[in-house]
Amino acid sequence: MRALAVTPIHLPPEEIRRRQARYDRLAPRGLSVELRDVGPAAPGSLDDEASIRASEHEVAAALARAGAGWDLAFPDCVLDPAVPDLPAPDQEVPVNGLLRMSSLYLSAMNVRFGAVVRNEAIGAELRRRLTAYGLDARTAGIEVLDLPFDAVADTGAWNAALGAAADALAAAGATAVINGCSAVDVEEHRFAARVVDPTALALRLMMIGRSA
């Protein structure tokens, strides 16, 4: 199965290579993921409402010009930019979202979950998405880590910030915490609540869906 992933922001080549290597490592056997940069018209980071809407516009354009030859496509972003709230069954290349797949799976398994995000703007958009997916009742809360964009590529800094956030969400009733960034390696079982890598989980679900 061939999947196309599109970055939500314009990234330098070295970060594209890092993220592609992560997909190569996480993809289950039988799934090949090719990561493409969204293009220079997209913002360089998601720090406010305007950059999030611009990202959504550019991701939609990139997905539209991707062409055939893919079994599915998805944004390389937990905010699911340009992903429809409901799948379009007649779409030539199905577009799915990392957040939609991971959060609906957790809900189907009766897991009460929270999420951590890098900044307030991302948190507001993630909350909007979960509401659109009808998951407010399953969500224990969203904690903001207040980290700079550079922390996305810094596993140590990101995991160091997770402790207090995971504790707060566990106290609010979460048994799992969705890591609100698609490109960070997390130490899943180190914290008070299990931290879920939404990218790794979604890739596994793609293969299950393929064989169902």
pLDDT at 18: 96
| Phi, psi for residue 35 in degrees, rounded to 5 | -95, 130
Interatomic CA distance for residues 150 and 158, integer angstroms: 10
Q: Full-prediction pTM beyond 0.85?
A: yes
pLDDT at 208: 86
Residue pair 37/4 in contact (Cβ under 8 Å)? The answer is: no
Which one, of 12, 11, 18, 88, lies nearest residue 55 by Cα?
11
pLDDT at 209: 66
| 94: Cα within 13 Å, side-chain hemisphere | 14
Flag residues of the chain having pLDDT under 50: none
32-51 as b/e: b if 16+ CB within 10 A: ebebbbbeeebbebbbeeeb
65-91 as b/e: b if 16+ CB within 10 A: ebeeebebbbbbbbbbbbbeeeeeeee
Interatomic CA distance for residues 210 and 105, integer angstroms: 15
pLDDT at 93: 86
pLDDT at 211: 57
Tens of pLDDT, residues 71-88: 999 999 999 999 986 666
Crossing angle for the helix pair 49-64 and 120-132, to the nearest 10 degrees: 60
pLDDT at 187: 81
pLDDT at 210: 66
Residue pair 91/115 in contact (Cβ under 8 Å)? The answer is: no
pLDDT at 88: 62
Interatomic CA distance for residues 41 and 29, integer angstroms: 34
- In this structure, how many other beta carbons lie within 10 angstroms of the beta carbon of residue 178? 27
Tokens standing for residue 68: 């055939």
pLDDT at 11: 97
